Amino acid sequence: MTGHPLPEALRKAVEADSRPVRALPALWRRILAIVIAAVALLAAVVVTHTLRPDLETLSIWLGWGATIVEIIVGISLIGLALRESVPGQAIPRPAVAIAVATGLVVNFLVAIATWVGTKGSGMTGMPGCGVICMRTGIWIAIPAVLVTLILVLRALPLRPCVVGLLGGAGAGLMADGINHLLCPLSDLRHVLVWHTGAILCLMAAGWLAGKTWEILRSRRG
C-alpha cells in the first residue's frame, strides 16, 4: 500500500496528542464491580436501618426473594449499559426497550405479589410517607449510579442517552429491591406511584445526563 507521507506539522500534532491508555477491563470484571457495590450497599442498609416490621411474617420469596430478584435484574440492566458504552457493541433499540420494560414488569410483579401476599396489610396514614419512600429509593441508588458512571467514563459511549437510560433503570431497580426491605407499606397504589416513580425519575435523569453529555461532546467536536 502506497500513499503520500503525512505533512510534518500534522505528524507532530498527532504525536503531541498521543498518550498511552489503559485497556478497558472485560465486561464481566466491570459487572463484578457493580455486584460488589450492590452487596455492600445491601449489607450497609440492612445493618444501619430498621427493616419492615412484617418481614418475619412474609414468605422468604416475598421478602428477601423479591429483593434479590430486583437486584439481579437491576445488575443485568447496568451490565447492558456497560456493554452499550463500548463502541462496536451497541444494543439494538428493540432490545433496549425490551430490557427496560422487563425491569418495570419485574417491579410491578413484586408490588402485586407483595400486596396480594399481605392482603394489603401494612402501616397506613403516614403523612408524607410516599415522598419519603421515593427519596429513600433515589438516595439508595446514588452509589450504584456513581460506580456505573465511573465505569462508563472509561469507555466511549456513542449513544449516551441509551447508556443513561439503562443505567438509571438498573440502579433504580436495585435500589427498589433494597427499599422493599425497609418500606412497611404494601398498598399497591403506594408502591406503584412512589417506588416505581423513583425508578422512572432515575431513568429520566439518566437519559437527560446522557443527552447533556452528547450535546457538550458535539459542541467540543
Cα–Cα distance for residue pair 129/122, rounded to 1 Å:
12
Number of folded domains that form the chain: 1
Q: Answer yes or no: is 221 within a domain.
A: no
Query: Is 12 part of any domain?
Result: no
Asked whether the predicted pLDDT for residue 19 surpasses 80, the reply is no
What pLDDT shows up at residue 1? 47
Beta bridge partners of 185: 122
Residue 35 within any structural domain of the chain:
yes
User: Which range marks the domain in which residue 37 is found?
Assistant: 26-216
Domain assignment present for residue 6? The answer is: no
b/e map 66-94, b = 16+ CB within 10 Å: bbebbbebbbbbbbbbbbbbbeeebbeee
Residue pLDDT, tens place only, 127-173: 578 899 999 999 999 999 999 988 887 788 889 999 999 999 999 99
> Strand, helix or coil at 41?
helix
Query: Which of 40-54, 84-98, 120-134, 198-212 comes out lowest in average pLDDT?
Result: 120-134
Residue 19 domain flag = no
More confident residue, 90 or 109: 109
Largest CA distance in the chain: 79
| Nearest-10 Cα torsion for 175, 177, 182, 187 | 110
